[in-house]
Structure 1
Amino acid sequence: MRRGSGKFVAGFLALPVLVYLVFVIGPYLQAFYLALTDWRGVSGSPEFIGLGNFERLLGDATFWKAVSHHAILLVVLPLATLGIALFFAFLINAGARSGTRGVWGSRFYQAVFFFPQVLAVAAVGVLFQAVYRPDSGGILNGLLNAVGLDNVGWLTDPDLALWSIIAVLVWQAVGFYVVLFSAGMAAIPKEIHEAAALDGAGRGRMFFSVTLPLLWDSLQAAWVYLGIAAFDGFALVAVLSVNRGGPDGATTVLPLEIWRTAFSFSKFGYAAAMGVALFFLTLTFALLALRVTRRERIDLA
Structure 2
Amino acid sequence: MSHVAQSKGRAGFITGFLFAPLALYLTFVIWPYVQTFGYSFTNWTGQSPTFDFVGLDNYATLLNDEVFRGALWHNLLLLVFVPVITILLALFFAFMVNAGGRSGAGGVRGVGGSRFYKVVYFFPQVLSLAILAVLFGAIYRSDEGGLLNGFLVKVGLISPQHPVEWLNEPNFVLWCLLFVVVWHGVGFYLVLFSAAMQSVPRDIYEAALLDGAGRAQTFFKVTLPLLWDSVQTSAVYLGIAAMDMFVLVSTMTSGQFGGGPDHHSEVMATVLMRNFLYFGKSGYACAMGVVMLVLTMILSVITLRATRRERIEF
Q: One fold, TM greater than 0.5?
A: yes
SS of match in other structure, 1:68: helix
Other-structure match for 1:201: 213
The equivalent residue for 2:147 is: 139
Aligned equivalents of 2:166, 2:213: Cα separation in 1: 43
- State the percentage of identical aligned residues: 52
Quote the residue 1:82 is aligned against: 87
Residues 21-59 of structure 1 show CA distances to partners (whole Å, capped at 9, x for unaligned) of: 000000000000000000001123221111110000011
Distance 1:42 1:177 in 2: 42
Which deviates more from structure 2 when the two are superposed, residues 93-102 or residues 196-205? 93-102
- Is 1:183 aligned to residue 195 of structure 2? yes
CA separation in 1, counterparts of 2:100 and 2:209? Answer: 13
- The residue number in structure 1 matching 2:309 is 295
Query: Which of these residues, 124, 137, 140, is aligned with residue 129 of structure 1?
Result: 137
State the TM-score, normalized to the length of structure 2. Answer: 0.93
Q: Which structure 1 residue ranges, 4+ long, deviate > 4 Å from structure 2?
A: none
Post-superposition offset of 1:116: 1.1
Q: How does 1:150-169 map to 2 (within 5 A)?
A: 150=158, 151-169=163-181
Distance of 1:207 and 1:39 partners within structure 2: 54
Q: Could you tell me which runs of 5 or more consecutive residues in structure 2 were left unpaired when the two chains were aligned.
A: none
2:38 to 15, 33, 37: 33
Which string of whole-angstrom CA distances, capped at 9 and with x for unpartnered residues, describes residues 242-277 of structure 1? 221100000011111111000000110000000000
Structure 1, gaps ≥5 residues long: none
Match of 1:258 in 2: 272
Matched, 1:113 2:121: yes
CA distance in 1, matches of 2:79, 2:36: 25
How far apart are 1:109 and its partner, in Å?
1.7
Shift of 1:91: 0.8
C-alpha RMSD of the superposition? 1.2
> Which residue number in structure 2 is paired with residue 95 of structure 1?
100
Cα displacement (A) at 1:103: 2.9
1:94 CA displacement: 1.2
In structure 1, the residue matched to 2:260 is 246
Q: 2:61 aligned with 1:56, yes or no?
A: yes
| Amino acid of the structure 2 residue aligned with 1:212 | L
CA distance in structure 1 between the partners assigned to 2:20 and 2:279 by the alignment:
38
Q: 1:95 Cα shift?
A: 2.4
Q: TM-score, normalised to structure 1's length?
A: 0.97
Counterpart contact for 2:71–2:267, Cα < 8 Å: yes
